[in-house]
Amino acid sequence: MRKNFIALFFTMLLVGVVVSCSDNVDFDENQSDEVLNSNISSSDLLMNLERSFLPATRANAALDPELYVYPDYYCGNYMKGDKVVILVKGDKVDVYRDDLVDRCKANNFEIETREHSMNEILNIRDRIVGVGESVLNQLGVCFWGIDPENNCLEVVLEDTSIDKINRFKSVVGDFSILKFSQGSKVTFDAEVSPGKSFYENQGKGYGSIGFRCTYGGKQGFFITSGHVMKSVMNKLYSGMDFKECLGVCRNCDEKGIDAAVCEVEKGVNLTNSFTFKNKTITLGTSVGTSSKLSPIGLKGRHNSSEGTVELVGTGFPGRSYLYFSAGQYASQGGDSGGIIFNTKENKVVGIHMARAKKDNVVYSFYVPYSAIENKFGIRLY
């Protein structure tokens, strides 16, 4: 009997991320009315904007926030209902708008002004990363992330007493960009207790399936959690009796982006559909984007939950990748690897990886599609 296996997908989150900057604003004064009057979707608009940040030599390559070159006026973006809001610094708003229309290939966005540019925020982020994992742990740093709407870099500490905050500032520096919140260390959502989702046969952990993809130009692969799979050649099973094999791990990055590529077992059917809150969701092959306040959902082993993106450009002590995202959606052990998708557009955004508390509110973290595509060279199909 054929086994039906649901794979879900993912996308990248439009995180403000890069260290280099561009000094000049370039735009086409002869831009056509067709472009100026276009009214494209939020995801397409943000995708165009994001692609415009890539160096000219990588213009047609996969999106990679580590390579982005932001203009000095750019401060990030967020969602206000269905409308994209792009944030700028400075008083030449008309000039910035023309440049942004050129970048977005559309004009259906709003502009708001802020004090700090994305380049400024990232420079402070790099100072935090630069002190090293050991020192960050001594300072009680749980995680950090960029809040574009509020134009700050939020640092979550285990203890936010004045003494602890001042200790952090004495090491990293005292900057108005910084905002401090109290929280907990990040918990990566794999379980080693009994459960019903897929089981990894070495560590005896279990997690959730993400999305199907091509790998090495071939179909029949899917993405899931790196910290659940752990290493190449580990197998996935449908139950703890380890009788029904679903696939085998072919590539794994447990400590970096936290994702793994698995090849499906012969006879297992990979689909683009899944049940979410009593509805069938079918995802296409286009990649979605997400900004702060974008509506997102998790489909994992335990949870079919909804929420919004709250922080972008998120990092943790000891992780080299600095562009995870954090949202307020319910998750728990066993949900790792589950799909994160834009609930309005039904487009893939990422895979779930971890959770932590901030100001007594649980924040869940996910890996953006761009990170996985760039790491493994995968594509949706």
Give Cβ neighbours of residue 325 (< 8 Å, ≥ 6 apart). 13, 15, 145, 290, 309, 311, 312, 313, 314, 350, 365, 366, 368
Q: What is the pLDDT of residue 31?
A: 43
Q: What is the pLDDT of residue 21?
A: 36
CB half-sphere exposure, 357, CA atoms < 13 A? 8
Cβ pair 12, 369 in contact under 8 A: yes
Query: Tokens 């067709």 correspond to what residue?
Result: 34
Q: What is the pLDDT of residue 355?
A: 95
> Residue 12: pLDDT above 90?
no
Total length of the chain: 381
142-193 pLDDT per residue, tens? 999 999 999 999 999 999 999 999 999 999 999 999 999 999 999 886 543 2
Q: What is the pLDDT of residue 339?
A: 94
Q: What is the pLDDT of residue 114?
A: 98
C-alpha closest to that of 312 among 290, 341, 343: 290
278-305 pLDDT per residue, tens? 999 998 888 887 899 999 999 998 999 9
The arithmetic mean of pLDDT across residues 228-257, rounded, is 90
Q: What is the pLDDT of residue 36?
A: 53
> Residue 330: pLDDT above 60?
yes
> Residue 123: pLDDT above 90?
yes
340-379 pLDDT per residue, tens? 999 999 999 999 999 999 999 999 999 999 999 999 999 9
30-61 pLDDT per residue, tens? 343 444 546 789 999 999 999 999 998 887 77
| Cα of 183 vs its chain's centroid, Å | 20
Residue 340 CA to residue 355 CA, distance in Å, equals 14
Give Cβ neighbours of residue 30 (< 8 Å, ≥ 6 apart). none
| Cα of 310 vs its chain's centroid, Å | 11
Helix (H) or strand (E) holding 377: none
Higher pLDDT, 59 or 319: 319
> Residue 3: pLDDT above 60?
no
Residue 226 CA to residue 250 CA, distance in Å, equals 11
**pTM confidence score:** 0.84
Handedness of CA 189, 190, 192, 195 (dihedral sign): positive
The arithmetic mean of pLDDT across residues 269-274, rounded, is 87
Within 10 A of 21 (CB to CB), how many other CB atoms are there?
A: 17
Q: Note the helical H segments in the chain.
A: 33-36, 42-52, 93-104, 118-130, 133-138, 162-172, 226-229, 369-376
Cβ pair 341, 299 in contact under 8 A: yes
Q: Of all residues in the chain, what percent carry a pLDDT higher than 90?
A: 71
Q: Where are the beta strands (DSSP E) in 158-197?
A: 178-182, 187-188
Q: Which tokens hold the place of 102?
A: 């050129």
Long-range CB contacts (< 8 A, 24+ apart) of 253-256? Answer: 253/226, 253/375, 254/226, 254/227, 254/229, 254/230, 255/226, 255/318, 255/319, 255/320, 256/226, 256/319, 256/320, 256/321, 256/375
264: β partners: 247
Higher pLDDT, 268 or 163: 163
Of 96-105, 162-171, 196-205, 265-274, the poorest mean pLDDT is in 196-205
Q: Which tokens hold the place of 357?
A: 């508390």
Q: What is the pLDDT of residue 267?
A: 87
Q: Of all residues in the chain, what percent carry a pLDDT higher than 70?
A: 86
Query: Tokens 């989150």 correspond to what residue?
Result: 13
Angle at 15 between CA 133 and CA 45, to 5 degrees: 175
